[in-house]
Structure 1
């Protein structure tokens, strides 16, 4: 009887264990099913130029790189290519901008009405594809009150949802007094400022000899310098509601700023009233880089971005998911980085 009793208890415990295991498996499967729901991916970092512009993208391109840049140039001015890049890619929408760097002459000048024309063209394009395309205004960040007025027109009258600016102009970095009217206007309008890398002649001459990575380093250095200038110049003290987005190329500057000086207030652990709202995109979708900026800035300050069509990323959903796993993000945080943060910045939804 004792043996039978022990056996019975083992049977009962085994049955209970099996039930618990089945319940746990069911819960796990349910959670996985929820997590497996496709993320809504909104790509913050994309470029487009209307066909009315003659681009300078093929000037001084080495012979070996010319086929690549010819394809990039075609895509830059093709609405069909832009829309086709969404089909089957797992990307729900793109935020597009139009850099005047693509139309500058040898002296860095653009036509006087370039900003207005670009913004009108951008508004016309995105209006045709609501929910798929969102447009940023283009202004000269150092253009003072005139550029500030154009930004106001682009947002209030044309419905554009942010502003694209270059990191520097000549010897001026963003954060210089000449840039304050545009930055203050963006803050008052509640729209983000995308601070883009650019080519600095001196740095390019020195670093481009290294190769393509050297060129990116030169451009990223200017992007980093603009960020640090904004933090150290008192710009955020004047405009605490300012929202700045930099690219992954500025990662070195982000890390440097996060450890020293006023830049410590960009970190996720900064007091809420003192926090400086700096966002970084995921250009390159490198899991280590994504985790790095999430650890420093918080998942609420990282945006999915690829740099289309300069870079045409493959398998974006799978690669983004891999980066999220590496960063240890929960489902809510994954949705934020994939597209939620961008839509919130743009005031969508």
Structure 2
């Protein structure tokens, strides 16, 4: 087996809870006026604090515990799990962070990676509005700090990535030909129907968000304009494999309907789904064997990357590799998913 790469390991600054200025920068970036609420509180029964994000108030969507992001513990967990290399991403927060806070994050992430002795890599985080300052920060991350790509989220506020406001930044990434990770956000834009129940809100909500984003990107034509852009969507693109043939169907010329109800003439959408859209698993055990095998059959092993969402659930991390190895798929697909695709896409 070649190098095993976890393409979805979360990272937050280790001093986030102890550095008041940094913590205030994170908290101040969250748009309270749009119903997103944050607080720091003690974890019951433990001498640890957690950062909680609610949207709307009273509905928890994110929890980050103190002490989960230390180099020593992550390296030890990687060795125990059999992971050779980690690709770090900032979980969700990049939806809100301003440029100055992003610079602090990128500097800390670069120092953390430097201390890992080649076992970790990082992705640049900047506000996605295409300003000169943000583009210079991407250049600094790639050329000075040695980062392997960029990271964004599926939507910012009320707008998904197909919106023209993001085009200057995405064109810049396209011209650089760098891989871009698209992380899910706490909730999709239209979230009220999934609020009441925790698993539907915190799990299914992320899937709605990702599948919506993938579909909008494909149907918008943005990849015709930006053919070098490569997006890696988390959560298997919200199980996009389940909808791929329905949303991007092969055209059946021999059958004629009285009314053409759907856009069956999909043009080159299939090519874009193969060349521009990729998916990370975000915790293999949570999907189940049948679902993962179906994803590989529909999407193809070349377009799926292993990822654990560490440290969200320890079983996803410590049982993830054996879950992939136990699938009834080809050995080549296993090798591609567990590391080959990441090595190629991130130039490891």
Quickly name the TM-score band, shorter chain normalised. Answer: 0.7 to 0.9
2:4 pairs with one of 41, 44, 52: 41
In the alignment, what sits opposite 1:11?
A: none
Does the C-alpha gap of structure 1 residues 337 and 221 become closer, same or farther in structure 2, counting only changes over 3 Å? Answer: same
Residue 317 (structure 1) aligned to one of 278, 299, 321: 321
How large is the Cα RMSD of the aligned pairs? 3.2
Structure 1 residues 154 and 72: CA distance shift in structure 2, 3 A: same
Distance 1:228 1:67 in 2: 44
Gaps in structure 1 of 5+ consecutive residues: 1-37, 103-107
- How far the C-alpha of 1:198 sits from its partner, in A, is 0.6
Return the offset for 1:282.
1.9
**Greater share of strand:** 2
In structure 1, C-alpha distance between the alignment counterparts of 2:82 and 2:69, rounded to whole Å: 22
Distance 2:46 2:215 in 1: 35
Q: 1:195–1:244: 8 Å Cα contact kept in structure 2?
A: yes
**Rounded Cα–Cα distance in structure 2 between residues aligned with 1:112 and 1:274:** 31
Q: Quick check: 2:5–2:85 contact (8 Å CA) kept in 1?
A: yes
**Structure 1 CA distance for aligned equivalents of residues 73 and 268 of structure 2:** 40
1:158 aligns with: 145
* TM-score of the two chains, using structure 2 as the length reference: 0.74
Give the corresponding residue for 1:20.
none
Q: 2:260 aligns to what?
A: none
In structure 2, list runs of 5 or more residues that go unmatched.
Answer: 28-36, 51-62, 249-264
Q: CA deviation at 1:144?
A: 4.5
Sort the Cα spacing of 1:315 and 1:255 in 2 relative to 1 into closer, same or farther, 3 A. Answer: closer
Matched, 1:115 2:117: no
- Once the two structures are superposed, what CA deviation does each residue of 1:70-89 show, in whole Å capped at 9, x if it has no partner? 49523443222222221221
Quote the residue 2:341 is aligned against: 341
**1:204 and 1:215 in contact (8 A); partners too:** no
Residue 58 of structure 1 and its aligned partner are, at CA, apart by: 7.4
Q: Quick check: 92-101 or 154-163, which moved more?
A: 92-101
1:296, distance to aligned residue in structure 2 (A): 2.1
Partner residue, 1:282:
281
Residue of 73, 79, 84 corresponding to 2:71:
79
CA deviation profile, 1:26-63 (whole Å, cap 9, x unmatched): xxxxxxxxxxxx55321000111111442669738998
Give the SS at the match of 1:241: coil
Shift of the alpha carbon at 1:287?
2.1
1:94–1:227: structure 2 CA closer, same or farther, 3 Å change rule? same
Give the Cα separation in 2 of the matches to 1:263 and 1:163. Answer: 29
Alpha carbons 1:100, 1:110 under 8 Å: kept: no
8 Å Cα contact 2:10-2:91 kept in structure 1: yes
- Asked if 1:301 corresponds to 2:299, the answer is no
Structure 2 matches for 1:8-87, cutoff 5 A? 38-50=1-13, 51=15, 52=19, 53-54=22-23, 59=39, 70=50, 72-87=64-79
* Alignment partner, residue 10 of structure 1: none
Number of corresponding residues: 298
**Cα 1:206–1:95, aligned 2, differ >3 Å: closer, same or farther?**
same
**For 1:281 and 1:240, how far apart are their aligned partners in 2?**
20
